[in-house]
Structure 1
Amino acid sequence: MGPLLGRRAKNAAQSARASRIAVAIVIGILVGGIFAFLYPHGLFSWDHASQFKGGRLTKSIIQIGSTLCESSERISMLKSDIADLSSKNLELKKHNTELTAKLKAAEQKNNDEYEVMVVDELQKAGPFGSVKGIRTNSIVLPDDTINPRLSKILKKIAVQNELIVALANSNVKSMLEIWFTSIKKLGMPNYLVVALDDQTVDFCKENGVPFYKRDPDEGFDSIAKTGSNHAVSGLKFRILREFLQLGYSVLLSDVDIVYIQNPFEHIYRDSDVESMSDGHNNMTAYGFNDVFDDPSMGWARYAHTMRIWVYNSGFFYIRPTLPAIELLDRVAERLSQRLPAWDQAVFNEELFFPSYPGYIGLHASKRTMDRYLFMNSKVLFKEVRKDGKLKKLKPVVVHVNYHPDKLPRMIAVVEFYCNGKEDALESFPDGSDW
């Protein structure tokens, strides 16, 4: 019995070991199947070209090296692109600088050499009778740095970037009072006196009149305080330039003017300059064909000429455009020369004379104001006051420009048009006594 029991125990142990081995094999097969199902390509992405060589994974090395090469190439490409963009940026900056220089050069008034810059796109002409040229130039970009103090004043008093401006010193105090009183009666806030001396500043303060006095300027101050009417009149072209650069349209006004209606309600604003005429009828105010006779020419003795009486440089509306600023520059430059010149004559010559060999004319648009609405004193005293129908018309302004006895005639204009005194104009002669 003893040996038999020993053999049975040994066989049982061997059976148990075999069972454990079998279970282990089964478990191994199951785990292997699961991994095979979940990771068909193995735990690591080897392809069929992956081989062990010298104990190293050559495929991994190839892949890593390839990635590094691609990164280097991409960095090189980016560096190249950045270099190209920097080069183009420099070219654009250079081009922009050149364009800026050209624009500045175009603003300079050089009569010997002009650079033509065409900015409009080509257009087809429309049907007969439908073509209209450009009449209204674009305004300039306002630049407050030109005169910050004046800019601050204008922002307070201007209405829709428009205002009336008059230059005055203490020599015209009485006329100035009539001038701003007539404006105040119309309820207009947008007017300004450019005071040429301290007395005028004090006078404006006393009467609640908006004013502006320039910073000290030796040459300017000497003319402003002691200069004649014509000398003082020449200063306005220098002063007006700053108003236009700041982006404001100005109705420049002498002080020998009475305001009866709001002038801004009767301005067209379609031209660089819109001015009162010195003409006394439709022909002289708006232009006419004048025939010159030269008998020595026989058959060709008659030569036709175009004529118009001058614009009044003491009352005109000017817009902030490049041609308008060029006009002011030209007139101011000529008036600053030692040769004697009348500002009104220079103003009209620069505005109307065309280009010709050796001279470049001003390319500015212009409009003549209605001679009955914007009335000069010749029209009033020679025509209107003698006509029953015309006396019923209500002008916008009356400019006492044709007569030296300005103050009494201004008072009479106020009496006639503002106070209803019908005979207020009767005592004056058509012209002056001298």
Structure 2
Amino acid sequence: MMAGRRDALLTREKGQSSIGSRIFIAVVVGVLLGCVFAFFSSSSTPNFPHFHNPKMVSSSCESPEQVNALKVDILSAKEKNSELKKQVKGLMERLRFAEQGKGHAQEQFVVLGENHKAGPFGTVKGLRTNPPVAPDESVNPRLAKILEEVAIYKELVVALANSNVKEMLQLWFTNIKKVGIPNYLVVALDDEIEEFCKLNDVPIYRRDPDQGVDAVAKTGGNHAVSGLKFRILREFLQLGYSVLLSDVDIVYLQNPFDHLYRDSDVESMSDGHNNMTAYGYNDVFDEPSMGWARYAHTMRIWVYNSGFFYIRPTLPSIELLDRVADRLSKDPKSWDQAVFNEELFFPSHPGYDGLHAARRTMDMFLFMNSKVLFKTVRKDAKLKRLKPVIVHVNYHPDKFARMKAIVDFYLSGKQDALDHFPDGSD
């Protein structure tokens, strides 16, 4: 028994010494390899002068070649720093959208994945937010490069303008700058606006020539230009960007991106002027000839304003733009706002497939139309103290005068700036 134990111990000691030898050999080999790697790395790395104290370096000792080499190094470092900033920005955008998409993905899994039993009463929720499309830069590489520089978190304000609205455009971007909104872009529709924006350091995008469309862009009035935006916006969405589409008869008083929900395909301001008209109401239609059944209940809501809406890069959003652009091309006399709302709201019925898009109405006191301001807000002491995000002068033809008055009232503190205007138009 003792002899057996001794043999076992000797065998174990031999095994341990063998393992120790192997470890020692591995360490030695690792050190040698490290030395070889360090030698070749140092030999392949260019030698730069190291100065422990910059004050002790004499400029007279530096040759022009050294100075030029240092300048090249500094420029290279700046370029690398700029590239790193872009990468960090891209990572931040991905992180934000990953967090935002996490909940959306969970909702989609629940709704589109395996069949699940419904939860307890009051806990069941359907899918509300459609996922964004995969960006396709091949659609417009030049625009993609501009958007990469201008957009923040893949979002930006976009306005279309030609020389017919130059005066309002200047007031538009002046207040955008004053409020501190960096992510905005003007789609210049003619040479004059392009040069005007460049002179005023305004980010611009000039579309490539397009026969027929360009004729409307350069000479068309408000409604004609308004119809173009649905075709132009499509490329922004295909590139993966969310757009806050803006007419130029809008005064910006706060950053709108701080007040969006981003839970729908389309988030739009309303032409409504109170809670009922803006957010919907049950309107009773009376037909006395029907006797007992004379009263018919109808659901009504005032239209969304096609001059200010936030649209996400989803398939329903792109389908909406295609539908509206197609109808406007076939019937140029159609009003783009009417077509926009019909496509958003009309349900599927025999012979027609409705659009399956999620929509949200913006807060009418934050995203305010000029009827709300001049008919209600300016006459109410409490409402006058509220500061809207934007005011859209959509109900009045004397747009520029009212825009300047809105700036004077909200930004310059002139309490009587709005008083002399009538509720409506003369």
TM-score range, shorter chain: 0.7 to 0.9
User: How far apart are 1:261 and its partner, in Å?
Assistant: 0.4
1:288 lines up with 2:292 in the alignment: no
Instruction: Note if 1:373 corresponds to 2:366.
Output: yes
For 1:67, the equivalent position in structure 2 comes to none
Larger Rg: 1
Name the counterpart of 1:160.
153
Q: How big is each residue's C-alpha offset from its partner over 1:68-115, in whole Å with a ceiling of 9 and x where there is no partner?
A: xxxxxxxxxxxxxxxxxxxxxxxxxxxxxxxxxxxxxxxxxxxxxxxx
Looking at structure 2, the residues matched to 375 and 308 of structure 1 have their Cα atoms a distance apart, in angstroms, of 16
* SS of corresponding position for 1:428: coil
Q: CA deviation at 1:228?
A: 2.0
Q: Within 2, Cα distance between the matches of 1:246 and 1:326?
A: 15
The answer for the alignment partner of 1:425 in structure 2 is 418
One-letter code aligned to 1:331: V
Amino acid at match of 2:370: S
Aligned to 2:245: 252
Q: Report how many residues are paired.
A: 316
- Structure 1: gaps spanning 5 or more residues: 1-117
CA deviations on 1:257-314 (whole Å, 9 max, x unpaired) are 0000000000000000000000000000000000000000000000000000000000
* Alignment match, 1:267: 260
- Equivalent residue, structure 2, for 1:7: none
SS in 2 for 1:274: strand
Distance 1:120 1:432 in 2: 55
Q: Per-residue deviation at 1:346?
A: 0.1
1:214 corresponds, among 181, 189, 207, to 207
CA displacement, residues 387-427 of structure 1 (integer Å, 9 cap, x when unaligned):
00000000000000000000000000000001111000001
Instruction: Check conservation: 2:164, 2:221, Cα contact below 8 A.
Output: no
**Structure 2 spans left out of the alignment, 5+ residues:** 1-110
Query: Counterpart of 2:236?
Result: 243
Distance 1:148 1:224 in 2: 22
Note the 1:63-78 alignment, pairs <5 A.
Answer: none
> Which of 131, 137, 140 is the aligned partner of 1:138?
131
Q: 1:297 to 1:286 in 2, by over 3 A?
A: same
SS in 2 for 1:252: strand
Alpha-carbon deviations, 1:21-56, whole Å to 9, x = none? xxxxxxxxxxxxxxxxxxxxxxxxxxxxxxxxxxxx
* TM-fit CA distance, 1:123: 2.1
Between the aligned partners of 1:120 and 1:167, the Cα distance in structure 2 is 41
Tell me the CA shift for residue 186 of structure 1: 1.7
CA distance in 2, matches of 1:121, 1:191: 42
Say whether 1:184 aligns with 2:183: no
What pairs up with 1:283-362 in 2 under 5 angstroms?
283-338=276-331, 340-362=333-355
| Structure 1 runs, 4 residues or longer, greater than 4 Å off | none
- Secondary structure of the corresponding residue to residue 218 of structure 1: coil
Deviation digits for residues 95-150 of structure 1 (CA, Å, limit 9, x no counterpart): xxxxxxxxxxxxxxxxxxxxxxx953322211110001111000000000000000
Matched, 1:203 2:196: yes
Q: Distance between the aligned counterparts of 1:401 and 1:388, measured in 2?
A: 23
When normalised by structure 2's length, the TM-score is 0.73
Give the CA deviation at 1:338.
3.4
Superposition RMSD in Å? 0.9
Task: Give the structure 2 partner of residue 97 of structure 1.
Answer: none
Give the SS at the match of 2:268.
strand
